[in-house]
Amino acid sequence: MDRRTFFGSAAFSAVAAASVSKVALAALPEPVIASTPATAAPLIPPNGRPYNPVLTLNGWTCPWRMNAGVKEFHLVAEPVVREIAPGMQATLWGYNGQSPGPTIEVVEGDKLRIFVTNRLPEHTTIHWHGQRLPNGMDGVGGLTQKQIPVGKTFVYEFEARRPGTFMYHPHADEMVQMAMGMMGFWVTHPKAKHPLIDTVQRDFCFLLNAYDIDPGSTTPRPNTMLDQNLWTWNSRAFPGIDTLNVRQGDKVRIRVGNLTMTNHPIHLHGHEFTVTGTDGGPVPHGARWPEVTTDIAVGQMRQLEFLADEPGDWALHCHKSHHTMNPMGHTVPNMIGVDHRGLVQKIQKLVPDYMLMGERGMADMGEMQMPIPDQTLPMMTGTGPYGPIEMGGMFTTLKVRKEQKPGDYSDPGAYRQPPGTQAFEWTGALADPTRPAAAAPASALQVRKPSGGAHTGH
Ligand SMILES: [Cu+2]
């Protein structure tokens, strides 16, 4: 079929992803490569139909060009270096210079052409998670298309048929390619006012991902199934995850997709939200209920919406406490409550750097600077106005400020607690707590035991 008449044809389903001709290759759009993990400002659509753009946390939106009414994107699958947080670079695979790849933002009804160039050391494909599209555009290697060989460029063409929150990732050697960081976000905006899609003032998106990178090294182990040691949002770990900065009174939407191998209960402090949509589409009003935590299972996406009406710095994090930590030895012995007085000094005569961890819990880890290998993040780190924030991994802050300007996404700095509104130390008298008398011995209790072995009469 003539590619120029493709979109005018009713035969969408008849065409599969195909290798581009040399003529088309010469004409394909220049891929835009990102070199930093910084959060880019939302991309105001320069052409096509207007929409309110999203902000990709520590990411950016893929620029496109219009070609005879078709939106054309160019993704390049390639090895990348991604800063997970200051002090640690990971060698991952991604798209257009980073992992995740750029967010694709389109409008319901847009006709799309996406060029995918493979610069990986092995073949790949892209699956467009959640899209309605012709079967041959679904990107499942071997099933709906041939894998894209090393060095080749394939083209995907389809229409963005329904609005919502989606993602993209390979469906070729998936275990390795997703463990290496290949994924990206996708947002399809509604073409007109939609009864189930509210206008919001701030629209954030990010993917949950996870890596197993040995301390001191930079390449993830792709064979690890569940015991990853880096729990990340858009391949960033706290304190490398940017804050979500909003104006008090803004309606806020946060879109989250999970491409890790376990579920993540995402928890927001200080506000109640509703889940207004999934990758299956908008949730009917009657099926929404208030939450402060919503679990996002593997391969799921959720849209959280709320009115940001409480000023402050509010934690936003995964509620699995092991997921708000950076790499640590899982085999650290449990020392809580162990009396080892004098032991550390004796060992330090032999091993000067020796530290004993966890005797009184692990909060000390947030303060002490223990020697760690290069390319390794402290287990819990990040400093707030009142001291160390004893977290890493899947943690950041929602900053709600009265003074934040509309559309201004810059970080307003730490929240200043108004006088009299912060937890404070009690300095008055403390009465000894009254404790109950020692429990009576069991033999003194009057217990009616069942008689004999006959358990009848239940
Ligand atoms: Cu989690």
Residues 390 and 272 in one domain: yes
Distance from Cα 231 to the centre of ligand 1, integer Å:
7
Distance from Cα 318 to the centre of ligand 1, integer Å:
5
Q: Which domain holds residue 367?
A: 230-401
Distance from Cα 263 to the centre of ligand 1, integer Å:
6
DSSP-assigned letter for residue 78: E
Distance from Cα 66 to the centre of ligand 1, integer Å:
39
Tell me, yes or no, whether 223 lies in a domain: no
Q: Looking at residue 18, what is its pLDDT?
A: 47
Distance from Cα 251 to the centre of ligand 1, integer Å:
25
**DSSP structure string for 247-308:** ETTEEEEEEEEE-SSS-EEEEESS--EEEEEETTEEPPGGG--EESEEEE-TT-EEEEEEEE
Residues 257 and 175 in one domain: no
Distance from Cα 407 to the centre of ligand 1, integer Å:
30
Residues 168 and 284 in one domain: no
Of 12-21, 170-179, 221-230, 329-338, least confident by mean pLDDT is 12-21
Distance from Cα 167 to the centre of ligand 1, integer Å:
19
Distance from Cα 367 to the centre of ligand 1, integer Å:
24
Q: Looking at residue 434, what is its pLDDT?
A: 83
Distance from Cα 48 to the centre of ligand 1, integer Å:
37
Residues 109 and 254 in one domain: no
Distance from Cα 230 to the centre of ligand 1, integer Å:
10
Distance from Cα 394 to the centre of ligand 1, integer Å:
7
- Predicted TM-score (pTM) of the model is 0.84
Task: State which of 368, 401, 434 marks the end of a domain.
Answer: 401
Does position 6 have pLDDT exceeding 50, yes or no? no
Does position 152 have pLDDT exceeding 90, yes or no? yes
CA distance 241 to 317: 11
Percent over 90 (pLDDT), the chain: 70
Task: State which of 401, 419, 442 marks the end of a domain.
Answer: 401
Distance from Cα 99 to the centre of ligand 1, integer Å:
19
Distance from Cα 184 to the centre of ligand 1, integer Å:
19
Tell me, yes or no, whether 444 lies in a domain: no
Tell me, yes or no, whether 99 lies in a domain: yes
Residues 351 and 299 in one domain: yes
Starting at the earlier edge strand, list the strands of the sheet with 244-247.
244-247, 395-401, 312-318, 264-268, 293-296
Q: Looking at residue 333, what is its pLDDT?
A: 59
Q: Looking at residue 2, what is its pLDDT?
A: 38
Q: List the end-to-end C-alpha distance of the chain, in Å, as a whole number.
A: 75
Distance from Cα 309 to the centre of ligand 1, integer Å:
26
Residues 187 and 242 in one domain: no
Does position 172 have pLDDT exceeding 70, yes or no? yes
Distance from Cα 265 to the centre of ligand 1, integer Å:
6
Residues 184 and 234 in one domain: no
Residues 181 and 311 in one domain: no
Tell me, yes or no, whether 273 lies in a domain: yes
Distance from Cα 228 to the centre of ligand 1, integer Å:
11
pLDDT by residue (tens digit) across 181-200? 999 999 999 999 999 999 99
Q: Looking at residue 383, what is its pLDDT?
A: 84
Does position 401 have pLDDT exceeding 60, yes or no? yes
Tell me, yes or no, whether 216 lies in a domain: no
Distance from Cα 253 to the centre of ligand 1, integer Å:
20
Distance from Cα 139 to the centre of ligand 1, integer Å:
28
pLDDT by residue (tens digit) across 242-280? 999 999 999 999 999 999 999 999 999 999 999 999 999
Residues 96 and 192 in one domain: yes
**DSSP structure string for 358-377:** -BTBSGGGGT------TT--
Distance from Cα 258 to the centre of ligand 1, integer Å:
10
Distance from Cα 302 to the centre of ligand 1, integer Å:
14
For 96-178, where are the E strands, in sequence order? 104-107, 111-118, 127-129, 153-159, 164-169
Does position 347 have pLDDT exceeding 60, yes or no? yes
Does position 223 have pLDDT exceeding 80, yes or no? yes
The two structure tokens encoding residue 255 = 């879109």
pLDDT by residue (tens digit) across 62-73? 999 999 999 999
The two structure tokens encoding residue 267 = 């928890």
Residues 282 and 342 in one domain: yes
* Ion ligand 1: residues, Cβ under 5 Å: 264, 318, 320, 323
Tell me, yes or no, whether 207 lies in a domain: no
Q: Is the Cα torsion angle 73, 115, 208, 263 positive or negative in sign?
A: positive
The two structure tokens encoding residue 130 = 């959640």
Over residues 426-445, mean pLDDT: 76
Strands 18-19 and 153-159: antiparallel
Tell me, yes or no, whether 224 lies in a domain: no
Distance from Cα 232 to the centre of ligand 1, integer Å:
9
Tell me, yes or no, whether 430 lies in a domain: no
Residues 192 and 238 in one domain: no
Band the pLDDT of 156: cuts 50, 70, 90: very high
Task: State which of 401, 431, 453 marks the end of a domain.
Answer: 401
Distance from Cα 120 to the centre of ligand 1, integer Å:
29
Does position 444 have pLDDT exceeding 70, yes or no? no
Whichever domain contains 156, its CATH number is: 2.60.40.420
Q: How many domains does the chain have?
A: 2
The burial of 213, by beta-carbon neighbours within 10 Å (0-12 exposed, 13-18 middle, 19 or more buried), is given as: buried
Residues 369 and 312 in one domain: yes
Distance from Cα 39 to the centre of ligand 1, integer Å:
22
